């Protein structure tokens, strides 16, 4: 019996010597694979009266503020410090204009940043759309071919690649 108690005590000492302060078994620390955060904002909003005043409406008969909408697209790759070869491909204004036509897409702006040594990469598109006789469903149908592509390589050399459809994230406010 004393022998069995001694063996159990020795096993207990050996096992507790292999644990860390949290009581879990000690392991070799491996670098954790970091995954960047992808943020997507895709929305259609009404113009404010101030925004409407800046829209050139000379060629429209009886223009109203409700005849126009903002189309806003913002895509961010955040926390990208531990990834390389980030790729963010978003259609240009020219491609948007080909799909929506110049009768619908009146004007807008775009911004893009994808520097290898920066944690944040982003693309933004802000457009003013002529919305008279256009429904939300029809706009979704028109925008359905628009996709954007995001990819990166993690610290282990594994490539992650994803494609997103704009209409899957489109919200009407």
Using a pLDDT cut of 70, give the percent of the chain over it. Answer: 81
Q: Residue 14 above 50 pLDDT?
A: no
Residue 81's pLDDT band (cuts 50, 70, 90): confident
Q: Specify the pTM.
A: 0.77
Q: Residue 95 above 50 pLDDT?
A: yes
Residue 15's pLDDT is: 42
Q: Is 101 left (phi over 0), alpha (psi -120 to 50) or beta?
A: left
Residue 82's pLDDT is: 81
15-29, 44-58, 65-79, 120-134: the lowest-pLDDT one:
15-29
| Residue range 130-154: mean pLDDT, rounded | 95
Which residues lie below 8 Å from residue 75, measured CB to CB, with a gap of 6+?
Answer: 38, 39, 40, 41, 88, 90, 122, 123, 124, 148, 150, 164
Residue 170's pLDDT band (cuts 50, 70, 90): very high
Rounded CA-CA distance 133/141 in Å is 14
Residue 122's pLDDT band (cuts 50, 70, 90): very high
């Amino acid at each position: 019996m004393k022998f069995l108690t001694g063996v159990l005590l020795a096993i207990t000492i050996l096992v507790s010597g292999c644990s860390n302060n949290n009581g879990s078994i000690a392991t070799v620390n491996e670098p954790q694979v970091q995954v960047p955060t992808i943020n997507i904002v895709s929305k259609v909003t009404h113009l404010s009266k101030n925004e409407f005043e800046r829209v050139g409406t000379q060629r429209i008969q009886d223009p109203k503020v409700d005849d126009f909408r903002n189309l806003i697209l913002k895509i961010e790759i955040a926390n990208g410090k531990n990834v390389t070869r980030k790729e963010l491909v978003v259609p240009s204004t020219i491609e948007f204009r080909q799909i929506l036509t110049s009768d619908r897409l009146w004007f807008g702006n775009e911004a893009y940043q994808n520097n290898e040594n920066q944690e944040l990469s982003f693309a933004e598109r802000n457009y003013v759309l002529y919305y008279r006789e256009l429904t939300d469903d029809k706009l979704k149908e028109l925008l359905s071919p628009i996709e954007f592509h995001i990819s990166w390589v993690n610290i282990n050399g594994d490539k992650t690649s994803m494609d997103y459809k704009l209409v899957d994230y489109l919200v009407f406010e």
